[in-house]
Structure 1
Amino acid sequence: MSSTRIRRWGIIVLVILNFGCDQISKNVVRKEVSPNDYIQVVGDSFILTNVENSGAMLGFGQNFPPILKIALFQVLPIMVLLVLLYRILKKKEMNLWLIVGFAFVIGGGIGNLVDRIAYGSVTDFFQIKLGFLKTGIFNMADVSVTSGVLLLLLLSFRKDKPVI
């Protein structure tokens, strides 16, 4: 098997792993955690809940008209994710860490996109409270996307820029 083929399979596996972790965790929460439960996992610092978000991050756009929601939260993400996936699959010379960052973004993006299409909302269930720091309620897809974006940002600050 050629190195290009191995690389492409590696990308697909990373995307599927991110997507799979997200979907499995959301299915468990939907089945095992009642809506709006407040379960203290680690004191009051790590909370498990079950909230449906019909908007984007932190509820942005929940009150948008349905056609605008479909355009912004389904059609546009499908196009962006397909272009990203196509580009990283076709690019022959790409830094491994860039591939990982993009694969995390794509896998997480697909996870939330599937929820929006299948359920009309995204299941969020984690919240972290550490002193004055308090996150919004999020899910594993959000963790994947955020991790991928942070990795890509970190790479963009390097002196020796990776090949894109």
Structure 2
Amino acid sequence: MKKREWLIVILPLVVTWLVDRVTKLWATDITSVKSHGPLHFVLHHNHGAMLGLFSDLPSVLRIVSLSTGGAFLLCTYALIQYMLPIKSLTLRCGLSILIGGILGNVADRIVWGYVVDFIVVGTPTLSSPAFNIADALQWVGYALIVFAIIREGELLWPENNSRKKFWVNLSFQLKYCILMMAVGLSLTLISLVFSYTYLRVTIQELVGNNQFLLNKFLVPYVITFIIICVAFCAITFAVGKVLSHRIAGPIYAFERYLYGIMRGENIPLLKVRKGDEFKELEALAEEITKRLNVIKAERTVNVVEFNDGINPDDKPRQ
């Protein structure tokens, strides 16, 4: 995509986050219920996820895991934006709005340890759970994503742009995936050792060698980190599979093209699929085809001229 289109895609994320921050700062000054028909504004501290989910988990596990999950989703968002085969501004903007809302709540957990909710819709007898602008905009993002998938599904998964198999060069692609997983796993293990040691030493400095408190804080942390590590490795493997396919696929197609020429088959022009690397192979294959056609034409002309130069009355010597 062009720079202007990338700006259009990223802008909803920034705007969503800023609107959420401004409204939450305003909401922190609410001291009593403010009602406007079925719409009510009341300050509420949400220690869980969306609509209060996971609020009964231990605070360390809840805050760390939900905040880290938000950062994890941000990285996933960047990968999805990079790997989408079409520009589809509707889909991409929907993803940006969704992630912007998630990051708004993640910022709350990092700064305050809880999420500020302040909107309630309904009557005294029947009302919605408290939510905020970020929660509402996330549903807008979901709606845009679903709408784009329904409307542009054929463009997302075009039949003429997909290969029958994803493992076109098994040994190379597996090495590529394992290498990516190894790098990712190494980084996560380094982060685990550093953060675990830092957290343990900090707790011991504050409360001494209290095994109960150490287990209370460190065990949930390690469990959460392991879950994130496993998910991260799975995603890096999947990303490695896709990226390696974009490298191996064009080479595989070019090899088939060359083998077809060697066997004298009529091979159509090589077309590299969208998102694949080595797009210059298309021009190279086209140039090879042109040169071969010129050589064939020259040979045909020479054969015709040679046949025309033979006198039919001439008889071969006995």
Task: Tell me if both proteins adopt one fold, taking TM over 0.5 as the criterion.
Answer: yes
More displaced 10-residue stretch of structure 1: 122-131 or 93-102: 122-131
Task: Summarize the Cα distance change of 1:7–1:134 in structure 2 as closer, same or farther, 3 Å threshold.
Answer: same
Distance, in Å, in 2 between the alignment partners of 1:62 and 1:143 is: 19
C-alpha deviation, 1:46, in angstroms: 0.7
Task: Summarize the Cα distance change of 1:89–1:100 in structure 2 as closer, same or farther, 3 Å threshold.
Answer: same
Q: Does the CA contact (< 8 Å) of 1:4 and 1:92 recur in 2?
A: no
More displaced 10-residue stretch of structure 1: 97-106 or 130-139: 130-139
Determine the structure 2 residue equivalent to 1:151.
Answer: 144
Q: How does 1:4-153 map to 2 (within 5 A)?
A: 4-31=2-29, 33-34=30-31, 37-41=32-36, 43=37, 45-89=38-82, 91=84, 93-129=86-122, 134-153=127-146
Task: Summarize the Cα distance change of 1:96–1:159 in structure 2 as closer, same or farther, 3 Å threshold.
Answer: closer
Q: Secondary structure at the match of 2:44?
A: strand
Distance, in Å, in 1 between the alignment partners of 2:130 and 2:108 is: 16
Q: Secondary structure at the match of 1:47?
A: strand
Q: Does the CA contact (< 8 Å) of 1:101 and 1:147 recur in 2?
A: yes
C-alpha deviation, 1:155, in angstroms: 3.1
Amino acid at match of 1:5: K
State the structure with bigger RCO (CA 8 A, min sep 6), 1 or 2: 1
Distance, in Å, in 2 between the alignment partners of 1:112 and 1:93 is: 29
Question: 1 or 2, which has the higher strand percentage?
Answer: 1
Q: Secondary structure at the match of 2:43?
A: strand
Q: Does the CA contact (< 8 Å) of 1:14 and 1:100 recur in 2?
A: yes
Distance, in Å, in 2 between the alignment partners of 1:84 and 1:133 is: 36
Distance, in Å, in 2 between the alignment partners of 1:158 and 1:5 is: 25
Q: Does the CA contact (< 8 Å) of 1:19 and 1:107 recur in 2?
A: yes
Aligned residues: 157
Question: 1 or 2, which has the higher helix percentage?
Answer: 2
Task: Summarize the Cα distance change of 1:156–1:131 in structure 2 as closer, same or farther, 3 Å threshold.
Answer: farther
Distance, in Å, in 1 between the alignment partners of 2:52 and 2:62 is: 12
Determine the structure 1 residue equivalent to 2:289.
Answer: none
1:136-157, Cα deviation, whole Å (9 max, x unpaired): 1111100111110122123333
Segments of structure 2 that go 5 or more residues without pairing to the other structure are: 158-318
Amino acid at match of 1:124: D
Q: Secondary structure at the match of 1:49?
A: strand
Distance, in Å, in 2 between the alignment partners of 1:20 and 1:90 is: 27
Following superposition, which runs of at least 4 residues in structure 1 exceed 6 angstroms of deviation? 130-133
C-alpha deviation, 1:159, in angstroms: 7.3
Amino acid at match of 2:19: C
C-alpha deviation, 1:18, in angstroms: 0.5
Q: Secondary structure at the match of 2:54?
A: coil
Q: Secondary structure at the match of 1:157?
A: helix
More displaced 10-residue stretch of structure 1: 110-119 or 57-66: 57-66
1:77-131, Cα deviation, whole Å (9 max, x unpaired): 2111222134315646221110121011011111000001000001011111179
Segments of structure 1 that go 5 or more residues without pairing to the other structure are: none
* Greater Rg over alpha carbons, structure: 2
C-alpha deviation, 1:16, in angstroms: 0.6
Q: Does the CA contact (< 8 Å) of 1:112 and 1:141 recur in 2?
A: yes
Identity %: 24
Give me the TM-score of the superposition, normalised by structure 2.
Answer: 0.45
